[in-house]
Amino acid sequence: MSAESGTTCKVDRVAEKRGLTELDDELRERWADGDSLRDLERYCNEAILRSAMRAAGMETLDGEAANLYRLLTDDDVGPGKRIDAKSRLQRNGLDPETLTSDFVSYQTVRTHLNDCLDVTTARDSTLSVDSARNTVLKLVSRTESVTTQTIARLTEQGSLTIPSPSVTLSLRVACSECGDEYTFTGLLERGGCSCRADEEATEP
């Protein structure tokens, strides 16, 4: 909130409306840990959706809110699936238009960080190895969560049969020159492909 104007930004208003009392602290922590503004946009909106779902008595475990948010907002989701997602909200007493109007953009998140939380959002142009690792592993974890939830829903509706699924995403990087292959974290720890190390060792 701006102390001078006495007005609240959208993030403040929605957080108060949805009972997200820890949101500011979570945004500060996630930004400090290397989350991008787009990451924080998604985090805010999933928290908004999760709070509304809980208030309506809907299931929110195992990434359900993240999956529903994806169905409501992602560009690669077909119109049929989006309609199904909105219908599910309506069946539980939630108005999809009212709910999605509470979602915030990354620009709104940036303004909230800068003006309300006094957090500078200018990043150093240099990407650290730790920041790169955290960013990619968060995406891997999110993909695993969405996949697990999708399998569960397919199983519930009888489209898929698997007793106890366990989803693990393996991320590997192959060198097109020598053919060597590494895990993503392994490549970061090595600092490069072995063929480059061999070339450097043979240089006069």
In this predicted structure, what is the pLDDT of residue 6? 46
Count of domains for the chain: 2
- The dihedral formed by the CA atoms of 158, 160, 166 and 168, expressed in degrees to the nearest 10: -140
Question: Is 34 part of any domain?
Answer: yes
- Residues 197 and 109 placed together within one structural domain of the fold: no
Which tens digits make up the pLDDT trace of 159-186?
A: 999 988 899 888 999 999 999 999 999 9
Q: Is 187 in the same domain as 99?
A: no
- If DSSP codes are grouped into helix, strand and coil, which group holds residue 174? strand
- Which has the higher per-residue pLDDT, 59 or 15? 15
Domain finish residue from 67, 91, 124: 124
Domain housing 192: 172-202
User: Does residue 115 share a domain with residue 37?
Assistant: yes
Determine, yes or no, domain membership for 81: yes
d(CA 156, CA 165): 13
Q: Say which residues have a Cβ less than 8 Å from residue 95's Cβ, sequence separation at least 6.
A: 89
* 18 lies in the same domain as 103: yes
Q: What percent of the chain has a predicted confidence (pLDDT) above 90?
A: 58
Q: What is the mean pLDDT of residues 116-123?
A: 89
Instruction: Determine how many CB atoms are found less than 10 A away from the CB of residue 25.
Output: 10
In a domain, 150, yes or no: no
Q: Decide if 186 is inside a domain.
A: yes
Query: Does residue 154 fall inside a structural domain?
Result: no
Q: Are residues 179 and 118 in the same domain?
A: no
Whether residue 27 sits in one domain with residue 104: yes
H or E stretch at 117: none
Answer with the one of 102, 124, 146 that is the final residue of a domain. Answer: 124
Distance CA 36, CA 4 (A): 28
Instruction: Classify residue 155: in a domain, yes or no.
Output: no
Predicted TM-score (pTM) of this structure: 0.65
Q: Where are the alpha helices (DSSP H) in 4-128?
A: 10-18, 23-32, 37-55, 64-73, 79-91, 96-101, 106-111
Dist CA 72 CA 94 (whole Å) = 13
> Within this chain, do residues 15 and 111 fall inside the same structural domain, yes or no?
yes
Among 63, 90, 124, the domain boundary falls at 124
- Maximum Cα interatomic distance, the chain, rounded to a whole number of Å: 73
